[in-house]
Structure 1
Amino acid sequence: MRSTLPTFNEVWQQQLRSRILKTWPCAESKFLIACSGGMDSMLLLQVMSAVFPNQIRAIYINHQLQDIATSWGDFVRAECHKLDVPCIIANVDVQQGNLENQARIARYQAFKQHILPNEILVLAHHQQDQAETVLLNLFSGSGVGGLSAMSAVDQRDALTIWRPFLDLSRENIEFWVQQSNITYIQDPTNFDTHYDRAWCRETLWPLLNSRFPKMQQAVSRSSYLMQDANQILAEVAEQDLQHCGTAQQLDIVKLQQLSNARQRQLLSNWMKGSAQYRPSLAMVERIQAEVILAKTDAQAALHHAGFYYLRYQNMLYKISKADYLAQQQPISTQNLQLDEQQTIQVAAGQFAIQTAPLGLDPKLLGQNLMLSPRMGGEKIHLYGRVGRWPLKKAIQEAQIFPWQRHQIQILSKDDVMLGVFTPKGFWLAESIYCKKNGWQPKLLCH
């Protein structure tokens, strides 16, 4: 009796070719195929070379974790040569830690390094890969985003990724490879149950499949439903972000007007930013408890994934680690000479020396001036205002963020304060050096 499964020749002419052209209809694209030498990627290589001749390249990533990996690269190169497909062999160094995660990170770094601006990265993930990803993400406590698993076409780390086999079963792939006599290699680590994915495939999968024969299709279908739900949540979070703030700050009063679920969703999206992964629910709850609900005058700061989260008055701010820790670096006193049209860089930003209807005496240009950090206790007579003010009060009135106040520097001549460089501009001080048709530093960028 003939098998109910179609042969490879029938399928790639009728189904696979149609599938590929439907999921990626732009025939002008160029493609970089990730080819490990395994069964899935070798079938992908064969199909893509037939559907898109002269539009593909292949890349083999050697993680250098097994001695035989180099010979696998030679195999991939030889198979590509038969198909007249250019092939890249990329050696990568896998960092210590979770081996599966670190290998994945190294692999994608290599993809980004070698892919050309007009190329799409093509991966051979199939339906069982998708279902395994859903289960593994479920076991790790992922939310809707994790349960969405992989998309047929998506963006990751500035890469456009295409997975044309994502809804194909592994059984179909195995049959077509056998019928077409496609040679491939078998990585023994795919069966090493020390690794989570191999354990899921070799131990858990047969057990679940024996009870739920259609589990693979069902779990995969659930991932598509989760993708829809995730997109809806993302749209709601984007609307909430526009209402509550920007990528750098959120209005706490507006945030707290949302339901608790929408607050958590917005915070999770906001903290993720352009990163690949969202923060854990525990970290989102810490932001709420330790920063948002902190007393107004508290200097609460929480660090996560390269950023510090701080509350100032009724706003929540996301500050890069480098900017936040810069306040711990002392700024020394220095002498400087200024010239008209000169651009200078000080702690508060970049300033241009420009003529002004009222400013500092032109005779000060070219002379030695003193630039010193704020020490505390200074008073300033701001030009145009009555009396001397504590500099601290002027800073508070200008609402300069506490983590930026270390950038404030005082410009003086012979112990006479000329003005103050701040992140919000140069403050001219009343002094004997104030003249009409003078000059002032103008803030260009911070």
Structure 2
Amino acid sequence: MKPTLPAQILQALAPWRNAPAWHVAFSGGLDSTVLLHLLATLANTDHLPPLSAIHVHHGLQAAADAWPVHCQSVCDSLGVALRVMRVQVQPGASLERAARDARYQAFTEVTGAGQVLLTGQHRDDQAETLLFRLLRGAGVRGLAAMPVQRPLAGGYLVRPLLHVSREELEAYAHVHQLRWIEDPSNADPRFSRNYLRHRVLPVFAQRWPQAVASLARTAEHLSEAQGLLDELAHMDLHAADQPSPFAWLPIPSLALAPLCELSDARQRNALRHWLTPLTRLPDSDHWASWLSLRDAKDDAQPVWCLADGELHRCRGRLWWLPAVWSEFSDASVSWPDPQYPLELPGNGRLSATGNAPAGPLVVRYRQGGEIVEVPGRGRRDLKRLLNESGLPGFVRGRLPLLYQGEQLLGVPSLAGLWPATRERWQLHWVPQTCDQGLS
């Protein structure tokens, strides 16, 4: 016998019973109304985390202005605190996506460390999501549809109703005489999801009554398959996560050789996993650029341009450069007092140790032809020194050089590649971290 709806909810939320707080994303619609009522009722008999509701007001239609009042009335009747958050939806090609982005940004702001944001998506929503992404040509990760839980800010987003049908939610709402909002935009077939919900899935259900349940079950199978692909990616990336010869360079990198030993499909799987936190991934047609980068000649330094940065290949390694790396200014920067670190615009920090020359000094960047004094080796061509070091080309143009007038006084020690000067002082450069370029 199938468990009651309250029992299903308690089972689904068992891993988060000790969370500091539960927040319900409360639109006022059927799904979130049932979810909030279930949790508020269970809180009377079970020990649950503190419960509150969050209503996000997008301001996209006049009817929505009355919804916060309705939500407040429902929350008052249940004894649940409500927070109304008004957001600005950025104009763009997809109003649905823009509204979703604004909504989840609000959810991120309210979800503290270890806290849980609960949303009301149900089994029918899952089936729609799978069908929608299938028609867009999504891969396994996309077809896995909505996960039951995922990280959000310092806590989690959890969907405890994903195994519950809309029919069950409506039955619960009618038994408990709940009132909810019917969003007029949900009936507009111009929106792709509404078209699937009102025009496509009903036709499927006439021919295959279990269509929605079957689609949702398929999403579960694909989620399990994606989990296995993730495990495989972890194994392959572990082999490629070899120490960089430039440990001081704070950007993600991988050894290329272990990846080249894999099949093309495993290479793409590992790279998708590695790149996912760093950039929006390319579609299938653009993966040909990976093959061009991988197979370029050894002395080449190919670049694969992606949505949020670039993937470089240099000296047998892959290096990820976020878009912010291209934003630094190579203009000269004055350094009045080397006793204090110097912030370089878009290029990290420069500091000096030992008896550094007195100011005023100037930091410049390479123009070509620079000569530097190297203790024990005399005057050396900087380009030759950099070639000997194997320093990646994308770093060389950012290397800060210290001048006094027109005299080149010093180059950063680069983690010991150059010894201290005769005067026993050194420059130390900490480049801009990759994290500074990520949202």
User: What TM-score range do you get, normalising by the shorter chain?
Assistant: 0.7 to 0.9
Compared CA separation, residues 420 and 208, structure 1 to 2 (3 A): same
Give 2:77's match in structure 1, choosing from 82, 85, 102.
Answer: 82
Q: Deviations over 1:52-108 (max 9, x none)?
A: 257211111111111010101210111111111111111111112201111111110
SS at match of 1:59: strand
Moved more, 316-325 or 225-234: 316-325
Q: Which residue of 1 aligns with 2:425?
A: 439
Give 2:286's match in structure 1, choosing from 263, 283, 287.
Answer: 283
Please tell me whether the aligned partners of residues 426 and 442 of structure 1 are also in contact (alpha carbons under 8 angstroms): no
Q: Where do 1:326-405 residues align within 5 Å?
A: 326=328, 329-332=329-332, 334=334, 336-339=336-339, 342-345=340-343, 349-355=348-354, 362=355, 365-366=357-358, 368-369=360-361, 371-385=363-377, 387-405=378-396
Please tell me whether the aligned partners of residues 272 and 279 of structure 1 are also in contact (alpha carbons under 8 angstroms): no
* 1:138 matches 2:129: no
The two structures have a TM-score, normalised by structure 2, of: 0.86
SS at match of 1:68: helix
Q: Where do 1:10-159 residues align within 5 Å?
A: 15-25=4-14, 26-29=16-19, 30-53=21-44, 55-97=50-92, 98-156=94-152, 158-159=154-155
Moved more, 172-181 or 20-29: 20-29
Give 2:219's match in structure 1, choosing from 206, 219, 223.
Answer: 223
Compared CA separation, residues 378 and 351, structure 1 to 2 (3 A): closer
Compared CA separation, residues 346 and 301, structure 1 to 2 (3 A): same
* 2-structure distance, mates of 1:262, 1:285: 15
Q: Which residue of 1 aligns with 2:263?
A: 259
* 1-structure distance, mates of 2:417, 2:337: 17
SS at match of 1:58: strand
* 1-structure distance, mates of 2:407, 2:135: 67
Q: Which residue of 2 aligns with 1:270?
A: 274
* Deviation of the 1:301 alpha carbon: 2.4
Give 1:184's match in structure 2, choosing from 169, 180, 184.
Answer: 180
* 1-structure distance, mates of 2:56, 2:362: 57
Compared CA separation, residues 365 and 194, structure 1 to 2 (3 A): same
Amino acid corresponding to residue 302 of structure 2 in structure 1: A
Amino acid corresponding to residue 137 of structure 1 in structure 2: R
Q: Deviations over 1:124-175 (max 9, x none)?
A: 1111001111111111111111111122222245541121211111111112
Note the residue ranges of structure 1 that are not aligned, 5 or more in a row.
Answer: 1-5, 356-361
Q: Which residue of 2 aligns with 1:411?
A: 402
* 2-structure distance, mates of 1:439, 1:388: 17
Q: Deviations over 1:309-368 (max 9, x none)?
A: 111122121111111343xx33326464434xx43445875454333xxxxxx5x74354
Please tell me whether the aligned partners of residues 349 and 423 of structure 1 are also in contact (alpha carbons under 8 angstroms): no
Q: Give the share of equivalent positions with the same residue, in percent.
A: 28
Compared CA separation, residues 116 and 37, structure 1 to 2 (3 A): same
What is the count of residue pairs matched by the alignment? 416
Q: Which residue of 1 aligns with 2:245?
A: none
The two structures have a TM-score, normalised by structure 1, of: 0.85
Amino acid corresponding to residue 52 of structure 1 in structure 2: A
Please tell me whether the aligned partners of residues 113 and 154 of structure 2 are also in contact (alpha carbons under 8 angstroms): no
Q: Deviations over 1:258-312 (max 9, x none)?
A: 011101111111221266x6442233332332x2223334443233232111111
* 2-structure distance, mates of 1:153, 1:181: 30
Compared CA separation, residues 228 and 332, structure 1 to 2 (3 A): same
Q: Deviations over 1:228-279 (max 9, x none)?
A: 111110011011111113781222222111011101111111221266x644
Compared CA separation, residues 178 and 297, structure 1 to 2 (3 A): same
Compared CA separation, residues 335 and 126, structure 1 to 2 (3 A): closer
* 1:312 matches 2:310: no
* 1-structure distance, mates of 2:324, 2:17: 45
* 2-structure distance, mates of 1:51, 1:21: 9
* Deviation of the 1:378 alpha carbon: 2.2
* 1-structure distance, mates of 2:337, 2:417: 17
Compared CA separation, residues 179 and 371, structure 1 to 2 (3 A): closer
Please tell me whether the aligned partners of residues 425 and 443 of structure 1 are also in contact (alpha carbons under 8 angstroms): no
Compared CA separation, residues 118 and 268, structure 1 to 2 (3 A): closer
Q: Where do 1:412-427 residues align within 5 Å?
A: 412=403, 417-421=408-412, 423-424=414-415, 427=418
Q: Which residue of 2 aligns with 1:358?
A: none
Q: Which has the higher strand share?
A: 1
Compared CA separation, residues 178 and 410, structure 1 to 2 (3 A): closer
Note the residue ranges of structure 2 that are not aligned, 5 or more in a row.
Answer: 243-250, 433-439
Please tell me whether the aligned partners of residues 380 and 429 of structure 1 are also in contact (alpha carbons under 8 angstroms): no
Please tell me whether the aligned partners of residues 114 and 155 of structure 2 are also in contact (alpha carbons under 8 angstroms): no
* 2-structure distance, mates of 1:55, 1:299: 55
The root-mean-square deviation of aligned C-alpha atoms, in Å, is 2.7
